[in-house]
Each structure stands twice: as structure tokens, then as C-alpha cells.
Structure 1
Amino acid sequence: MTTPPKPVLDTAARALLDEIAANPGAVLRLGVLAPGGHGKTTLLREVERALAQNGADVTAVDDAHLLGDDELRALRALVERGDTSVVVAYRPWPRSRALAALAESLGRVRPAHLPAPLTREQVRHALPPSTGRALVDFVHQQTGGVPRFVARLSGLTSPELTPDVIASFRADLDWLDPDAQKFLLAAEAGAALRLDLLRSLLGGDADRVADVIDAARATGLLAPDGTLLPVARTAVAALSRTDRRIAVRRALAESQLRAGGPVLDLVRPLLTAPGPELSELFKAAAAEALPSDPALAARLLAAIGTPTPEVAVRHATASAMAGDLDSALRLADRVVAAGDQTHRGAAAEVAAIALAHRGQLARSTELHRWSPSATSTAFAHIGQIGVGALPAAPLPPAPPTLLGGAASLMAHGVLESVTGSPTTALSTLVRASGLLEPAGAGVLLPDSPAALAALVALHSGEPVVAESALDRAVASGLGGSLMAVRHRLLRAWIAMGRGNLERARETITALRRANRPLEPRDWIFAVALEIGIARRNSDLPTLKRTWEQACEAVLRHPVDLYTFLPLGEFAAAAARLRDQHRLAPHLAAAEDLLRGLGNPALWAVPLHWSGLHAAVIAEEIPAAEEHAAALAAHRDSGRYCAIVSSAAESWLDVLAGKVDPDQVERAARGLHAAGQWWDAARLAGQAAIRTSDRQAMVRLLDCARLLQGRPLGGRKPVEPETGQETGKLSDREREVAELVVGGLTYKQVGDRLFISAKTVEHHVARIRQRLGCTSRAELLDQLRQIVG
């Protein structure tokens, strides 16, 4: 016959059994007090067995709290007689006068034994020996170590509650009176410790509420802190009647709303049973959810049903903040079209912000003017400047709010960028971003001050400032999910300018994996990044493949001041593909826009710099000279203007075959200091290729590699891993080998290393000879082993 396993008992219980074994003739009078499921019955059996083994008579009574008064008085008399062992187990509730008297008599002999929950180690011993650590932790966390519940979970094979486990709690819940069931539902809703809400729910005074809580504690379903054990919370939610659960949550939420407290956690589950009677609760919960979870706020407002204009505006705002601009525009348009004078301005502002993200800046500006708010007026100024017109009237005083103050600073900063000092403009926009950071994701913006600051910084050759503003915006969640993509794309743009193409590509890859369509303003930057990466990698197939997207992007997004960076990148790509005519109308629109603003240097210089690159790529010397002249006209407008003008002059000299290594190196280092590492390296590399002075060529090639972030040398030759005596590759040959294995053509390799395609061909021929390869396939196979 198999010996049953010993029960898992706590230290105090083991000590009690040892005491009985050490004093077999002693009379034991003991009360065992604990909520349900804590092992009272198990201990009672063990004590009864231990006393019986010693030949002692024992009266063992379980669940004494269920006995009548006469039975309890009889037990008390037996205890007070003192000539026989009496062990009584009972719950702390219900507690009649007779049970209290019995407990008092037992307590005069020795304190009641209070079984403790199992520790994690004891839970491990209570489970099958093969149970893994993760499952032990799960069972202990779910049950709080209550032995009855540990036993119910002992058959689990993975850390997940099964329907059978949850169903095993039905008996624990069904026998409870209605008030105790209400309390458990309130505890499941998170209100177990809210006496004010419980009094309202249970309809009684503090003493009555305390009695109900004591009754619930006696079930063993509550943790020591008064909240439901995790497994019990799951069971209460799953096994309680849906209508009763909804009624309890609604009552709690209404009490909380009357008290002015948060209701979101109470209301969220009510989304499964919406109705007009819950509209006030849904509105209050949506206001709570909006800053951190606008999508949830939109769902709550949608559950109201037929909305009032006020609710429709709130719903449009939440939808826009969640990135659902279609819904935002549809809801806002209905309010505007309905002619509701009270809410039409707010609806127009939401629609204006949505259209700004859609690239419709002119229409956005018009809608902002429908709103009487000073914030909307500030945004209208930003939009008006963006489409090439200076505001005729000054801004009204900013309201004393974070958003109002930040919007006013944004408008002043953008205006300063076209009429005043770029340094002042940048400082103003950075201050606007800092002012709005505490608001985080809780504001709806047509553009963020951090994004505008980054654009001004990039147009000023201040990538460090741009990166800092964007990093802070990302850390604070400024503008929420609607602005998050824009901030990431601008950070990737900085990386691309510095030649960190891999980091820029990672951003594009991550956005593609998100599988979420980009709004036109974000899409034009994303496509421009792909174009820029392909062009810098001399990746002509990708450039050709992406060019059609670029042409579509500029069609979907009319030219405005804030998209000059992608437009300039598209100009260089168009020249590379000999397709300039498709972009010409958009470049002409950009020039018209600049003229409307008085041709401000901060915005004009980068566009002319991109035009110079396009002319160089297309070998159109007259066009290059025109752009260089335009840059020279702005030379005295600031440090960056002087750097770019100097670089333009160097390019013209290089194209003419006049290479002054000192001048080229100064110009290239200036570009590098302005964050344009790839442009700097390209200028030095092309100058090296075009000079006939061997010493100057070596110097400029070293300069190009240094500015590109590549080592000047020092890498040891690498032994082929074929085991054959096939010679070694020089540093330059290894560089060529890596790029050839990567699939680049000789022309692309030459562009990357600032050497001619013919030189690359000579390197490959030498490598083939040195490795003894008789075919290209054999060569590539050996090179893959060498360079990994």
C-alpha cells in the first residue's frame, strides 16, 4: 500500500505536532483560526492523528463557525472541564456570541493557532516534483500561498489559468450572500479599499460595510492587504453574472464621479455594454484617457452613440491624437457644416491640425482662422509663413497655458526665421519645445516645436541642437503618437547627413514593419530618406525603384517651407536619373515661395546647396554657377551660409579642374562641422580624383576617409580562411572586396571609395591573380570566406 505524501505545513504547525509527540499524555485544548482554504482541516486531521497514535481521546471539530449556539456551549463546557483534548477549527466570520465565548475559553489555555500561507518554497513542495521554477512562481503569485488554491492549480502544466481551474471557484462564490458578492465584484473593479465607494454601493453605515468585508475575508479569497488574490479576481470576473458585474461597476463609477475622482478604470470594462445612460461616465473616462491613450478615449466617446456637437469635437480631437485623421476630419467636418456657433471653431481647429499632417497647409491655415482661440491664430501664422506669405497682423496675447505660450513662441520663432536672426529663431523654438515638454502626449499639434526647431537647426548647420531638441521630444512623448513618426524621421535625417546610413535605414525599416500608412508629410520625408540612402550608397536599382514614390509624394504634398529638405534630396536624385523635368514645377514653386517671403537666407541656402549638387551630378556647369552665385549672395548671413558658399566655390573649381587642396580641405571640414559629413567627404574625394598632383590626391583621399568616419589605415592584412597559401589582401583590396561581395558595381565601389571604376577593376584583377581564381564565381566564393 502506498503511503500518502505528508501534507505541507508551516513551521508553527510542525512545532505543534512535535510538542504532541514529546508530551503524549498532555491534554491539548486548541483553537485553529483562519479564513477558508488556509489548511485548518489538514492541521485538524494531523493533530487528531498524532493524539490518536498516543492513545489519547480527542474531540476534533471543524468549521465551528457553522454550529448552533447549543453545540458551541457544549464544546465550551468540555474545554473548561479540562480532562480531554479538544481541537476546534473555525473561520473569523461569522462570529456569534457563543463562538466568541468558546474562542475565549480556548485562548485562556493557549493562543489560537493561525495557519500562515505557504511560502514559495512550500508551494514548490506542494506541487509535483517536475514543476519548473516559472510555474512555481506563477502558482505562488496567483494564490498568495493559500493551500486550497495551490492544490487547485497543482495540475497546471504551464503558467496559464485553465477553464477547469476557474470553474473550481464557483462553489466558493455561489454560497455567499448578495452583499458579499457585491463586495467581491467591487474588489474585482479595484475598489476593495475604498470605504466611501463601498458604503454607497452597499447602502449602509461603516459597521455594516466592515461586517461585509469580514465576511469576504473569511472566504480566503482576499490577500492580506484586502485586495483579491489574482486567481480569485479572474474567477470573480469570469463566473459572476454580467449584468450584476456591470451594475456594480456603474454604481461605483457614478459614486466616484460625484466625488470628483478618477473613473477610467471602473468605466473601461463597460465598453462591452454601452448605452446612453452611461454617457456622462464615458465622457469623464475619455477625458482621463486622452493624454495617455487617445485611442481608448475615442472608443469611449464613440460608445455614447449619437453625439452632441461637444462630444463630436472631443471625439474628433481624440481620433486625431490617436492618428486616425480620417475619423477626425469626418467628425470635425460635420460640426463645422452643422453651423453650431459654440463648437464650430473648435471643430475647425481639429480639422486644420489634421490637414497640416496631410500636407494641406494652405487649407489648414484657412480653417485655423475660423477658430477664435489665440492658439489657433498662432498656428495659422505658422501655416501662412509655410506657404509663402508673411502675416499682416501681429499675434494676439498668448493665453497663460503651456500650449498657448508654446504656440505663441512657435509662431514668433518661425517668423524670426524668415525676417530676422536664425540664432534667435532657433532659440525661440527650442524654448517653445521646452515649455511644452511637461504636457507630453496630451496636446494636439499641427507641428511640434521640437520638429520646427530641428528644421531650423538643420537649415542652420546645427545638427547637435536639432538632435538634442528631438531627443527631448521623444523622451517626453511630445505631441503623442501623431508627432512620434516625424520626430524619428528627423533624427534619421541627421544620421543620414552624418553618413550613418545604417541608422537612418533602421528607422525606415522599423516604420515599414509597423505596417501603418504614413501621412503625406511623414511619407515625403520617409521616401526622401530612402532616396538619400540609395544615392549615398550609389545604389542605382533602389534609387530607380523609389523614384516613382518620390514623384507621387511631391504630388500628394504641395510644396511648403517645411519640406525643403526632402525636396532638395529629390532634386539630386532627379539629376542622377536624368528626370529633372518631373521635379521642375515643384522646384519652381519653392522658388516662388521663397520670393514671397523675401528670399530668407535660412531657408534659401539649403535649397540652393541641393540645387548645386543636382547640377554637379548632371554636369550642368551653368546651373551650378547660378546656385553658387545665389549662395555667395547669402555668404554674410551667418556661419553656415559662409561654409556652404565656400564649399560651392570649391566645387566649381574642382569641376573646372582647378584643385587647391588647402581650399578644398577647409571647405570640406566646414561642411563636416555643420553635420554634413557625407557631403564633406564627397567634396574631398572628388577633388582627389580630379587632381593630377599625386601628393594632393593622397592628402585629399585621407581627408575624405577621415571626414567620412573611415580609418586611414592600420588594419592588418587578412589571411584567407581557405587553408591554402593564397597570399594576403591589402587594406584597400579588402575594402574593395567587401563592397564587391556586397553586390556593388565597380562604379558604385568607386563612388564609395573615391576612386575611379577603372581603378576598382585593377584592384579586382590583382585580387583574382593573387588568389589564383579562374572564374568570377570562384573569386566571389573565396572573397566571401575572407571578408565573412
Structure 2
Amino acid sequence: MTAIAPIADVRIARVLDDLATRHAVPVRLGVVAPGGYGKTTLLGEISRLLDDALVVDDAHLLGDAELADLRVAVDRADRPVVVACRPWPRSRPLAALAEALGRSRPALALSPWTRDRVRAFLPVSARGLADHVHRLSGGVPRFVARLAGLTSTEVPADVLDSFHPDLDWLADDVRRYLLAAEAGVAHRLDLLAGLLHRDLDGVGDVLDEARATGLLAADGTLLPIARAAVAALSRTDRRIAVRCRLAELELAAGGPVLDLVRPLVGTGVAGPADAFQAAAREALPVDPALAARLLAAVGTPSAAVTVRRAAASALAGDLDTALRLADRVVAGEAGPHRGEAAEVAAIVLAHRGQLARGTELHRWSASPTSAAFAVIGRVGTGHRPADDVPEAPPTMLDGAATLMARGVLRTLDDDPTAALSTLLRAADLLEPAGRGVLLPDTPAALAALVALHSGQPAIADSVLDRAVATGQGGPLMSVRHRLLQAWTAMTRGEFAPGRELLAAVRRTPLEARDWLFAVALEAGIARRTSDLAGVKRTWEQACEAVLRHPVDLFTFLPLGEFAAAAARVRDRRRLAPHLTEAADLTARLGNPPLWTVQLHWSALHAAIIADDDEEAGHHAAALSTHAHRGGHPAAVAKAATTWLDVLAGRIDADAVEEAARDLHAAGQWWDAARLAGQAAIRTADRRAMVHLLDCARTLQGRPPTPVSTAPAERTDSRLSGREHEVAELVAKGLTYKQIGDRLFISAKTVEHHVARIRRRLGCANRAELLDQLRQLTDN
């Protein structure tokens, strides 16, 4: 019984009025609706109006003899007769009864409630949830009543428990249909036919029976509240059995099975192995961790399944599991999958900084993809391959791997343009594969490295943006792409975006290669912002990072940052063996300019910081040997020579500006501004100093001269524009040296500015000065 007061729509109200005034004599009325639509409540209202009426509820449950007796009562016409039933089952006697009732008036078909009727029914405290209740219940009155006590969007367990009577007495085929609908295949008649072992007509009968329960929406899908109830109250074994059977049928039809199989993960069920593997293939590009869990659910995994699970685990970033599974297959009996397992292990080792060992495994694997990756690894560890990269099958992955290897080989030539072009083509070719390809490094990351080494940060940005957008290399490579994005930002002097990207990747533990770059970024940003405490804070991590990650060609950028940091903290001895190893590596490769120039440039700055003029001269001379190649090497060589002149006090403002602008055009934006700024600090010619300061500001992306602020717009009109800049930085706690580096003036000049600010503000001591400056800058 649906114990709720009826909220009649216009149609029902008209019928009730008609019955009350007995305009239609004799009264004959049929009421048809699925369960829960309010038939019983309506019959109660009719009984009150027609106390002599014969009122029959749930006529679909009556036997043939009882239905025949009802037919006689209708034909006798000696009293009102009102009969309600569900639309299914529909026997011949019930159809004949409906026909007899319909001679007086058409059967009254009840409909779900509208949103307004739901809102009117709910208590005032719940009317704010009316839309939510209507969506969950589909407007079925019985379910609206059960949800009337909601206080939030979460459905309480007792509401779900109230569906036991609706589900417990259903026929087995209807149960299976509801479980299939809960699995999302309510409209797949082919799957339903296989599940129910019926033809299409038989499936239609089951669907009609299910509709009559009131649990389905008009389109045959489960109402949201009914779906939750079916999932929560159905026996686990039945639910699993239905999903396994549906997965088998879908797999046989060549369709997707992930949505069917996903809920089985973690249940402990050993479902159909083929379906789990197919689901894992679907999940791999979008959720490799789920793919790994699906493959782990395969009952007795073969070597092939184990290798695929290792690859999925690696893509998801679970390198420990990946390496353990791959090693199990490699150490097992000889078979075709040992090479695949070796390839997975090699890729994992590359991410952990063991490029040499990974290269050995790639060479042992002997697949076309591994052969290409082995070439990359050999170049990265300082071994120039004797032969070119072998041709590979025309697949997307093999083709991209071959282009990657050829691109890396071309970095050993004098012109990096061909190398960069080849790597960009590899990135484009692999782009459609997106997240589902396990790689030791992506072509996008390699292209970005080459672009950074050749002074083209804009290209690095572009290729990295696309790699991040397409998810190239999956979650495993996303950290590397973001770290390289942060590196390009640091190169341009954009430290805030660099810090944000670095902070984002630092939230999770990093593998050795990513950790190396992350620590180098922290040290590099700290050095460029004159944060000596930050450099010191990261130095011990830097020393550990280089110990954990052997030197290879693709780590020269962080190694260069560590060289400068070592000089800054006066601990160059600890890094010296690694720098020597890097020099030996490039020597074995014939000192290719792309890699050698950046290494010498970083070492030059380390020598400048350490006041080692002899070593600085050595690196400047080494850079000059590459100047004839033009482009980036020429700009860096000219800047190196100019630095030596600046350090020696030989400052030609025009020559410094030319060198700085060439360096800026070659992608070394922060270095260019620093060269001009340091020359300005050291020159005795005031006109040259102003000119070089303007140049430094321009290269830094700031106005060439401080724009004077009108007294009405200033924080305090007693201070000049430059004094305002100094005051803001003093209030932030920067030292005179840090402020000087930031504004390209000497620490002594900063001290003079602070003294004038103190006099103008009338401060008796430094504490009073700081207090006033903080108030001024806060305003």
C-alpha cells in the first residue's frame, strides 16, 4: 500500500469529480500503471467517493476464474466497478476485462510526478532538494515518499533497504535484466538475448515485466535510486555472474568491455581472462593503474600477461612492481616474452638513472623498438654507434623510436637543426598514441632538451605544451615534461611560473632522473634570485642526486646548475669528478657542439662565481672554438669573451650590449640581462652605466628606465622611484647584495639608497625604518 495522500493532476481530478457527481452511470473504470505510481492511493480515494463500488487492486495477480467473475460484474452493471492493474502480465481474460471496462471510458493511465508536484509533496525542510529527489526517483510517487526525509544529496542506507520488497520477489529473468541494466546495457538487445537465453521477443517480454515494477525510466534504464538499490541489495555472486557473462558476450561481439569489467576489480573473482585483458587494453591509454589492476585480477597469468602488467605498472609510475614483474619473466624459462620483459626493465632503469644498464637490456631484447632505444642509450652514455639505426616495421611506435634514435645521433653533428627537426617529427608521429606508450624518454622531452641546449626555448615550450596536452608517455612522463617546462621558464627569468610547476611535481616522490632535475631547478632559481640560503639548503640534496644518477648526456643541464651552485657554496671539490666524467663523455663523442657548448658555459659561470680567472679563461677559449658555427655557439662564445673583459675591467658598453642582445636572441635571457647588469655595476663611466642598466632592464622584460611616479600616485612622495624599488625589497627582507643583483646595482649603492630613505623618513634606527617601510609598502 502506498500510504501517501494523492496529489492529483488535472486529468485525475476531473475523473474524481465525475465519479463524485455520478455523471457517468454505470461507473466503469480501469486504472493502469507500473508499481509505485499511486494506484492503491487512487483506489482508496475512489472507495471514499463510491462507498458501494466494487474496487479491485492488482488485478494482474488474479486467476482466470476470478477475472471472468469480474467481467460478469462489469456486464451486470448493478454497481460501480473500478479495477487497477499493472501493464504486465497481460493475460487474455485480463485483456477482455479491460475491453469491457473501456466501453464506458478509456483506462486511466497514471504518470510519474512532475518536479512541481514533487516539490509540493516534500516537507518544507526538504524542498531545496526537490530537483535532486525528482532526478533520483523519476517522479515515481512511491520512491518520492521514500526520499522525502532526505537532508542531503547522499542517500541513506535505510532508504536503499526499503527496496527489498521491490526486489525480493522478482522472477529470475527480471533480476538478471535489472543487473544488466545496472551494468549499463539496458538497450543492448543482443547481449540481453545471450544473457537471458531468449529470442528478441522473449527479451521484450522480460523488459515489459521489468517496466511494470516501476523501477525503470521511460527509456528502459534503471531510475537512479533503483540502480543504487540493485547494486547495493543484489547478491554479489549474481551481480558478478551477470557481468562476467555480459563481458564474454561483448568480447565475442568485438565490443568494449571495460565498463562491464571495472566493478569486478577488487572482488577477488577470477573472471574471464580474455575479458580482463581486453578491458586492460582499453584502460591503458587513460588509466594505466587500472589496467595494471585488471591484469593482476587474471587468475593464472601467463608470461605475456605478466609483461603487460609490468608495462602498465610502469606507465602508472609504480616502477617497483614493474621491475619485479619484468625481472620474473626475464629470469624465467626461455620464451618470446623474455625480450619484452627486458625492454620494460630497461625503460624503468632509464627513469631511475641507470641508462647504461638499461641500454644493455635493450640490446639484449633485440626488438626493433629496443634496438632504437639502445642507440639513444649508447649515445647518452658516450658511445657513438658504428652503424645507423636499422629500419623498423612501419608501426607508430617503431617508427617514432627510429626517428628518436636518428634525432639523437644527429645531435652529434655540427648543426642541431636536423636533430631537432627529426625529434619533432617523432613527437608528432607518436602523438596519437598519447598516454598508452611506455618510453625511456619521449621524443617531446628529447626535443625540448635539444631546443634548450641550442638556445630555442620557444620551441621547447611548444613541444612540451603539446606533450602535456596529449599525455604523451602517460603519468610516468608527465612529471618530466612539467620539469622541463619549469626549466624553460627559469631560462627566461620567469621564476614564479617555474616555482609553481616545480611545487606541483614535488608533491609526490620522484624517481632519480626527475629528482635530479627538480633539485637543479631549486638550486638554479635560488641562484638567479640571489637566495644564497636557498642554494645552501639544496646543496646537500644536489650532492646526493648526482651520486644516485650517473652522468649521461641528457643530464648536462642540471649538472651545469650544480657546478654554479658548488661555486656559490665554495664546495666545488665534491662535484669535480662528475664534471670530469661529463667532459670525458663528450670527448668520446667528439665534443659535439650541441652538448659541449652548454657544459662549458655552465662551467664558465662556476669559475666566475669562484673568482677563478684561469679556469674561466679555459672555458671561454673552449667556447671560442665553436664560434665559427654561428647561431647559439657564436652568441655564447662572444658572451664568454665579453664576460672576461668585464671581469678584467675592460668594459665597452656597445660591445657588452651587442653580446647581451645576441645571447638573449639565442635563448639565454636571464644570462643576457645579468651580463649587461654586471657590466653596468663595474664600469666607471656613468653614461655607460645608465645605458647598460637600460639594456639589462629591457632584456629582463622591464621598462628601460624607472618611470617616475607622480606624488599623488606614490606610496610616499618623499621617495624617488628608485628609492621606492629599494624600499619594497628591503621590506621583503632581501640583503643589500640580493637587492643589488635584482636591480643591477652594487650592494654599496643599495646601502647609500637605504641611508637616504632613512633620513627622508626620519627614522632613528633600523627597526623603526623597517616598520615604516612595511607600512608604506603594504599601503
SS across alignment from 1:31 = strand
Residue 234 of structure 1 aligns with which residue? Answer: 228
The correspondence for 1:62, drawn from 54, 57, 65, is 57
1:741 partnered with 2:731: yes
Tell me if 1:627 matches 2:619: yes
Contact 2:620 2:640 in 1 (8 A): yes
1:308 deviates by 2.4
Alignment correspondent of 1:567: 559
State how 1:170-569 maps to structure 2 within 5 Å: 170-274=164-268, 278-513=272-507, 516-569=508-561
DSSP 3-state at the match of 1:60: strand
Instruction: Report the CA distance shift for 1:38/1:779 in structure 2 as closer, same or farther (over 3 A).
Output: farther
1:212-251: per-residue Cα shift (whole Å, max 9, x none)?
2111111111111211111111111111111222222222
Q: Return the alpha-carbon distance in structure 1 between the equivalents of residues 670 and 714 of structure 2.
A: 34
Note the 1:727-738 alignment, pairs <5 A: 727-738=717-728
1:675 to 667, 686, 699: 667
C-alpha contact (below 8 Å) 2:314/2:438 kept by paired residues: yes
Structure 1 counterpart SS, 2:55: strand
Superposed CA RMSD: 2.3
Please tell me whether the aligned partners of residues 414 and 629 of structure 2 are also in contact (alpha carbons under 8 angstroms): no
| Contact 1:717/1:728 (8 A) holds in 2 | no
Question: Quick one: distance in 2 between partners of 1:246 and 1:754?
Answer: 70
Q: 1:474-513 deviations in whole A, cap 9, x for unaligned?
A: 1111000011000000001011111110111111211223
Aligned sequence identity (%):
67
Residue 487 of structure 1: SS of its match in structure 2?
A: helix
Alignment of 1:114-125 (within 5 A): 114-125=109-120
What corresponds to 1:696 in structure 2? 688
Q: Which amino acid aligns with 2:262?
A: R
CA distance in 2, matches of 1:370, 1:529: 35
Q: Which runs of 4+ in 1 moved over 6 A?
A: 718-722
Q: Name the TM-score, length of structure 1 as normaliser.
A: 0.94
SS in 2 for 1:418: coil
Q: How is 1:777-788 mapped onto 2 (pairs within 5 angstroms)?
A: 777-788=767-778
Q: Secondary structure at the match of 1:257?
A: helix
Match in the other structure for 1:587: 579
How many angstroms does 1:17 deviate by?
4.5
What secondary structure, in the 3-state scheme, does the structure 1 residue paired with 2:124 have?
A: coil
Aligned-pair distance for 1:127?
A: 1.6
Quick check: 1:721–1:785 contact (8 Å CA) kept in 2? Answer: no
Opposite residue 442 of structure 1, the aligned amino acid is G
**Which amino acid in 2 is paired with 1:34?**
A
Cα separation, 2, equivalents of 1:565 and 1:108:
91
Equivalent in 122, 137, 154 of residue 148 of structure 2: 154
Q: Distance in 1 between matches of 2:83 and 2:376?
A: 81
Equivalent residue pairs, number: 775
SS of residue matched to 1:550: helix
Alignment correspondent of 1:144 = 138
Q: What one-letter code is carried by the residue in structure 1 that aligns with 2:87?
A: P
Superposition TM-score, scaled by structure 2 size: 0.95
Structure-2 separation of matches of 1:674 and 1:12: 80
Note the C-alpha offset of 1:674.
2.9
Residue 434 of structure 1: how far off its partner (Å): 0.6
The answer to whether the 8 Å contact 1:647/1:671 transfers is: yes
Offset at 1:340?
1.9
Contact 1:264 1:288 (8 Å CA) reproduced:
yes
**Unmatched 5+ stretches in structure 2:** none
Identify the match of residue 707 of structure 2 among 689, 714, 717.
Answer: 714
Q: Deviations over 1:400-453 (max 9, x none)?
A: 111011111111111111125311111111110011000000111010000001
Counterpart in the other structure of 2:763: 773
User: Is the 1:388–1:593 Cα contact (8 Å) retained in structure 2?
Assistant: yes
- Structure 1 12/585 Cα, relative in aligned 2: closer, same or farther at 3 Å? farther
Q: Residue deviations 1:183-211, cap 9 Å, x none? A: 11122122222222222222222222222
Segment drifting more, 749-758 vs 761-770: 761-770
Q: After the TM superposition, which of the residue ranges 612-621 and 542-551 deviates more from structure 2? A: 612-621
Shift of 1:260: 2.8
User: What's 1:41 paired with?
Assistant: 40
Per the TM alignment, residue 15 of structure 1 is displaced from its structure 2 partner at its CA by 4.8
Question: Cα offset for 1:81?
Answer: 5.5
Q: Return the offset for 1:317.
A: 1.0
Greater shift in the superposed pair: 472-481 or 306-315: 306-315
Deviation, 1:368, is: 0.3
Distance 1:636 1:80, change over 3 A: farther
1:131 and 2:126 correspond: yes
Aligned pair in 2 of structure 1 residues 119, 664: CA closer, same or farther (>3 Å)?
farther
In structure 2, the partner of 1:90 is 85
SS state at 1:88 partner: strand
SS at match of 1:307: coil
Q: Is the 8 A contact 1:492 1:503 kept in 2?
A: yes
Q: Is the 8 A contact 1:444 1:479 kept in 2?
A: yes
Q: Distance in 1 between matches of 2:686 and 2:668?
A: 27
Q: Is the 8 A contact 1:61 1:87 kept in 2?
A: yes
Render the CA deviation track for 1:515-541: whole Å, top value 9, x for unaligned. x21111111110011001111111111
Structure 1 window deviating more from structure 2 (196-205 vs 533-542): it is 196-205
For residues 618 and 8 of structure 1, do their structure 2 counterparts lie closer, same or farther at Cα, with a shift above 3 Å needed?
farther
Distance 1:579 1:251, change over 3 A: same
For 2:559 and 2:221, the matched residues in 1 are separated by 59
SS of 2:575's partner is helix
Report deviation, 1:378: 0.5
Shift of 1:786: 2.0
- The question of whether the paired residues in 1 share the 8 Å contact of 2:306 and 2:329 is answered with yes
Measured in 1, the distance between the counterparts of 2:307 and 2:153 equals: 45
Whether the 8 Å contact between 2:522 and 2:538 is mirrored in structure 1 is yes
Partner SS for 2:241: helix
2:243 and 2:260 in contact (8 A); partners too = yes
Deviation sequence 1:548-592 (CA, Å, 0-9, x none)? 001111111111111111111111111111111111111111111
TM-aligned CA deviation for residue 69 of structure 1:
2.6
Q: Indicate the residue corresponding to 1:32 in structure 2.
A: 31
Contact 1:719 1:728 in 2 (8 A): no
After TM superposition, give the deviation of residue 27 of structure 1 in Å: 5.5
* Deviation (angstroms), 1:364: 0.8
- For residue 131 of structure 1, give the secondary structure of its aligned residue in structure 2: helix
**Amino acid paired to 1:41:** T
Q: Per the alignment, in what secondary structure is the counterpart of residue 412 of structure 2?
A: helix
How far did 1:352 drift? 0.6
Matched, 1:102 2:92: no
Query: What residue is the counterpart of 1:163 in the other structure?
Result: 157
8 Å contact from structure 1 (residues 309, 340) kept in 2: no
